[in-house]
Homo-oligomer: A and B are copies of this chain.
Amino acid sequence: MSNDTAATYDPSQYDRPSVTVDVVIFSLIDDRLKVLLVRRKQWPFAGMWAIPGGFVRMEESLEAAAARELAEETGVRDVYMEQLYTFGDPDRDPRTRVITVAYFALVPANAIDPPQAGSDAAETRWFPMRDLPELAFDHAQILSYALERLQYKLEYTVVGFELLPDLFTLPELQHAYELILGEALDKRNFRRKILASGILEETGEMRREGEGRPARLYRYKENAVVEVKARRLFP
């Protein structure tokens, strides 16, 4: 806290809840928006799937805890991550009072550790957002909110490229947007809007795979990303 109204303080006079971070990890895999889930082995919700998370250690910040969870599950660091919301209903965990600070992360598929090696041998799996299993705790609510936020952000920022490799083509980026938003977009309007944002630049190179005409490869400008980050709603 900060102050106990009358500014008295005695930690032992209050029971303390547990605090965890849960990280909703999104990626585009096999042409679908997928989320990484962990299978629970014990009560409560044994056998059900859950968003990866864990306790916040006493000496680490919330962001550090979320980044640590992400790295443990995917081996990935330095990807887009933002705080989503804090969920704290008293009965959301049947064991004890647990307040969780939820984050969501966007991870390019090519950056993920091959065998999804968690530090321990917990079973993890990527699930399509449109085909989720039954979820433990209030995690269905958290996932639903994370998707809503991701879709919302796609409409007014250009975070989509955070799910792609460093170099990508505009058709690839548009495809990513269409997968997440669940609707087709007009090529010309999409290109106009994205390029007008000024955060992409051509590499001068082409991607020549597949049958048709090769596509130009783009990257995002580091400076421009700073601009976008400054305008984020959530610090």
> A: which residues have CB within 8 A of B?
1-9, 11, 14-22, 38, 40-42, 46, 50-62, 69, 72-73, 83, 85-86, 88-90, 93, 95-101, 118-122, 136-137, 139, 145, 149, 152, 233-235
Contact = CB atoms under 8 A, between A and B. Distances in A.
Contacts of A59: 90
A104 to B, nearest CB: 13
A111 to B, nearest CB: 20
Query: What is the oligomeric copy number?
Result: 2
Given A19-B19, A88-B62, A72 B14 contact: no
B53 A85 contact: no
Given A7-B38, A7-B46, A16-B16, 8 more contacts: A1-B53, A1-B55, A1-B93, A2-B20, A7-B122, A11-B95, A17-B58, A85-B235
A9 B96 CA distance: 10
Contacts of A137: 2
Nearest to A55: B14
Contacts of A95: 9, 11
B1 A20 contact: yes
Contacts of A11: 18, 95-96
B139 A2 contact: yes
A233 B149 contact: yes
Given A17-B58, A99-B62, A22 B2 contact: yes
Contacts of A20: 1-2
Which of A17, A40, A100 has the largest count of B CB atoms less than 10 A from its CB?
A: A17
